[in-house]
Structure 1
Amino acid sequence: MSHRSSKIGTFLLAISIAAVLIILTMMFGAQMGLWEPIVGFGYIRHYMNPIAYGVVGISAVGFIYQVVTGNRVGLVKALLAFSIGMALLAPTIYSKINPTPRGPAINDITTDTENPPQFVALNSLRDEAKTSLAYGGSKVAAIQKKLYPNIAPLQTNLTAEAAYNRALDIAKEKGWEIVSQDADALRFEAIARTSVYAFKDDVVVVITALEEGSQLDMRSVSRIGRSDRGVNAARIMDFMQHF
């Protein structure tokens, strides 16, 4: 095989890199202010696989052509482009091999299912939301207990005031938008965004003073979608671990 350069190989590699940039833009476009999160999510659902299949297909043809023509440089570039296309298809391939069991849909997670923390300020700041902040009662509580049995209030040795300040600091460190904070009532409300697509979720944190120490309760609710795919539960558990 020859070591001459390959315009076709370069073209294939450029196409695969462009595909990656397009898909990344779809995923993070909302964070760049290009569109609403649901728009980027829709783009991914409709166009990611066709783009990936296109890259795999055209790079496979290019690979065969480079083998026939004996161009080693082009062969390497075509193989790299094919690998990028397969990487883009990896989530789909994985979901086919190891499908995620479909459980009951839930988008409202709380540390206290009997007396969940209530939202006040955020009730009037979520006009675009497709979900309600009214808790779903025993039905939702049963689903949560089945899916996330370990989520519970966090008891700490800190005073209530110290626990409140620490919780507020953690929320700010995580980049949450603090909508309302009440040091007297030991509670605050915030808007958290998912790392991918930047979907908005509503969060409320409440501290309760105990005879010794304090207790932290929180609740996280998605604005869009019947199922949150575990995002709200993961947010609460991550917050507790940081605390």
Structure 2
Amino acid sequence: MKHSGKIALLVAIIGAVVAALILFGARLGLWEPITGFGLYRTYFNPLAGIIAGVGLLALVIHLVRKEKTQATLGGVAAIVGVALLIPMISSTLNPTPRAAPIHDISTDTANPPEFEVLDDTRAGASNTLEYGGPELAAAQVAAYPDIASLETDLSADDAYQRALTVAQDMGWEIVAADAERLRFEATARTSVFYFADDVIVVVTPQGDGSRVDMRGVSRVGRSDQGVNAARIRDFQQQFQN
């Protein structure tokens, strides 16, 4: 028990590396995003609890023995564990409302933009790109009533170029762009777990200006946890800045 502080710190370092791999392993090509998400749900909180517990145990032991250096190491390990537990603690104290069980969000639910290049063979996809019709439209309006087409004073050509620039600035992978038809398809990925969502943006001339429509579809999962709606809001805000 003489070196339990060092042992606790080693456990914390190894545990932190494992936690990082769980969150970002898909980005490194180690596994599919859904695998990383499954590992997170099963192992992340128990791992964090073990790190925190080992660190606290080492801290108490060395405080009793008045061994400041080892106690400090145990305290650092405990802090690492508690830090990893913050998402669970936060969600427990302030639960996030359950997101709507939909994963296909469009600014135009009456005439949603249709994918032409991306299709159901895209890597890792279990969700179709076929729009769900009136039932999906009604579910979206109930869950995200603010999602709507973006109307702008820019000409259609200028709006298209602006939209393409914003998409690139947001880190989307542009899969296909058609400047003549004022449309492009892209893939956007979440920073954690690296889930892929496929996006289409279409610009339509409208009077002296234009209208920008956008649709985002997650490749996996019944619910996108609000990610596509949030991405549309972010895109529209950046477009207007």
TM-score, normalized by length of structure 2? 0.93
Q: Are 2:197 and 1:201 equivalent residues in the alignment?
A: yes
Partner residue in 2 for 1:135: 131
Q: Are 2:219 and 1:223 equivalent residues in the alignment?
A: yes
Pick one of 47, 53, 62 that aligns with 1:57.
Answer: 53
Amino acid at match of 1:105: P
Write the distance in 1 (CA, Å) between the matches of 2:111 and 2:41.
37
Write the distance in 1 (CA, Å) between the matches of 2:234 and 2:17.
30
Partner residue in 2 for 1:97: 93
Amino acid at match of 2:188: A
Q: 1:34 to 1:103 in 2, by over 3 A?
A: closer
Write the distance in 2 (CA, Å) between the matches of 1:105 and 1:232.
12
The 5 Å alignment of 1:78-157 reads 78-123=74-119, 125-157=121-153
CA shift at 1:232, angstroms? 0.3
Amino acid at match of 1:229: Q
Pick one of 68, 84, 109 that aligns with 2:64.
Answer: 68
Retained in 1: the 8 A contact 2:100–2:226? no
CA shift at 1:179, angstroms? 1.3
Partner residue in 2 for 1:173: 169
How many matched pairs? 238
Deviation by residue 1:99-156 (Cα, 9 ceiling, x = unmatched): 2232430101110111111111111541531111111122222221122111111111
Q: Are 2:40 and 1:25 equivalent residues in the alignment?
A: no
Structure 2: gaps (5+ residues):
none
Write the distance in 2 (CA, Å) between the matches of 1:235 and 1:125.
23
Write the distance in 2 (CA, Å) between the matches of 1:175 and 1:127.
19
Aligned residues with identical type, % of pairs = 49
Moved more, 78-87 or 107-116: 78-87
Q: 1:103 to 1:167 in 2, by over 3 A?
A: closer
Query: Secondary structure of 1:15's match?
Result: helix
Retained in 1: the 8 A contact 2:127–2:218? yes
Retained in 1: the 8 A contact 2:99–2:223? no
Write the distance in 1 (CA, Å) between the matches of 2:194 and 2:52.
29
Amino acid at match of 1:66: H
Partner residue in 1 for 2:10: 14
Query: Secondary structure of 2:118's match?
Result: helix
Q: 1:124 to 1:230 in 2, by over 3 A?
A: closer
Query: Secondary structure of 2:199's match?
Result: strand
Write the distance in 2 (CA, Å) between the matches of 1:184 and 1:124.
25
Retained in 1: the 8 A contact 2:9–2:76? yes
Structure 1: gaps (5+ residues):
1-5
Query: Secondary structure of 2:119's match?
Result: helix
Query: Secondary structure of 1:58's match?
Result: helix
TM-score, normalized by length of structure 1? 0.93
Q: Are 2:176 and 1:191 equivalent residues in the alignment?
A: no
Write the distance in 2 (CA, Å) between the matches of 1:161 and 1:11.
62
Retained in 1: the 8 A contact 2:200–2:216? yes
